[in-house]
Each structure stands twice: as C-alpha cells, then as structure tokens.
Amino acid sequence: MKYASLALALMCTAVASAQQNNTQQYAQLVNKLKNDDTNIDFGQLRMAYAASPGYDFDTDSEARKSMFAALQKQDYKRAIGVAEKALDQDYVDIDAHFVLEQAYKALGDDKQAAFHHAVVKGLIESILKSGDGAGYDTAYKVIAIREEYIVLQVKALQLIRQSLDRQGKHEFDVIDGTDEQKQGHRIYFNIDLPRAAEAKAFSGK
C-alpha cells in the first residue's frame, strides 16, 4: 500500500511538472508573438496551449458569437474589445485573430491588421502541416473542433456529412464535403486532444 501511494504521488508530481512546463512554454511563445515575433513555431504554440491547464476545448463560446456580431454591425471597437478578451483566455483562437484583423483593417490600423493576419496564417498553416487529411494515419491534428471548420473554409468546401470514428486508441472526425465544382472530398481530423479534454471536463477530474 505504501509503494502504491508513493507511485501515485510521483505520478501526480510528474503530471504537475509537465503542465507547468507547457504553461511556461505557451506563455513564452505568446510573449514572443506579442513582441511582433511571428516567426515562432505555431504548431508548438497550439500544442503547448492544449497541454496547459488553461486549455479550453469549447467550440461555441458566447465571446465568439459576440465578436462576430459586433464585426457584422461594424461596431469595430466593440469587436476588438471582445476579441482581445477571448485571446486573454486562448491566444490560439483563430477566429478572434481574424476578427481583430478585419476590425483593425476597417479602422485603418494597417500594422495591427497585418500582425493578426500573420497569426491567422501561421495558425492555419500549422494545422495543414500536421498531416494531409487524406486518411487516419495522416489526419490533421486539431486542438478544437472549430479548427475543422476553418480548414473547410480554407479549402472552400461545403460540409455534407460529419461522423465520429475510432481507430485503435485514436478518435477521428471524418468530414465529407463538396467543392465549388460539386466534387466530393473526404477529410480526416484527429480529435484525440479535444475529446480527452471533454471527457476530463465531464468526469469532473
């Protein structure tokens, strides 16, 4: 019993240490970005965030709805305020950076618009570099389901069908869509990270 307790304590210490390292790495990369260093490894940034205690897998937050509503109403200052708050929680939120890009562009702040455009580009490219989406072994690795819909937008595909699948220990979203020529395409997304976070949230652990 004593050895089991010791093993559990060591395991908890290792997990806490790993989370602290990921939190520090995430903070360091965010600080580099905020200091206009857009040459960072955006894939590393996304993974560090997903491994940190602050990771949020939620795909439909009120902040996201609010910032897009403000942008649509051309209330750019409000859109910026809401998007900045969203980034305080999740600096890899592509939607928030996109809203900031559009709002700053409309207000004539080309420097800020260019910065957020670079971040949007870097984050999207990091998803596309994680695989080719053509099968289970080369599925795109996402940290939030909303990233799947961003990939569909980038590829100009209209969603037709979305299904959940499991292969071994891994879980996937398999999405069927059509392009502008009505040609069918199937894209595979590895969703291990958001599914694990969701299970942990609902288990209360």
- Using CA atoms, how far residue 130 sits from 42, 60, 101, 141, in Å, is 11, 24, 25, 6
Element (H, E) at 103: helix 94-106
10-26 residue pLDDT tens: 433 434 444 556 689 99
- Report the CATH superfamily, name and number, of domain 2-128: Tetratricopeptide repeat domain (1.25.40.10)
16-59 residue pLDDT tens: 444 556 689 999 999 999 999 999 999 999 999 999 988 987 65
Range 95-108 burial, b when 16+ CB lie within 10 A, else e: bbbbbbbbbbbeee
The tens-digit pLDDT sequence of the chain (205 residues) is 554 454 433 433 434 444 556 689 999 999 999 999 999 999 999 999 999 988 987 655 777 889 999 999 999 999 999 999 999 989 999 999 999 999 999 999 999 999 999 999 999 999 999 999 999 999 999 999 999 999 999 999 999 999 999 999 999 999 999 999 999 999 999 999 999 988 887 775 5
Query: Where are the CATH 1.25.40.10 domain residues in the chain?
Result: 2-128
Q: Are 149 and 157 in contact (CB under 8 A)?
A: no
What per-residue confidence (pLDDT) applies to 60? Answer: 59
| Domain 140-203 grouped into CATH 3.10.450 | yes
What per-residue confidence (pLDDT) applies to 180? Answer: 93
Query: Where are the CATH 3.10.450 domain residues in the chain?
Result: 140-203
What residue ranges in 60-198 does DSSP mark as E strands? 140-141, 158-167, 170-178, 184-190
pTM of the model: 0.86
What per-residue confidence (pLDDT) applies to 64? Answer: 82
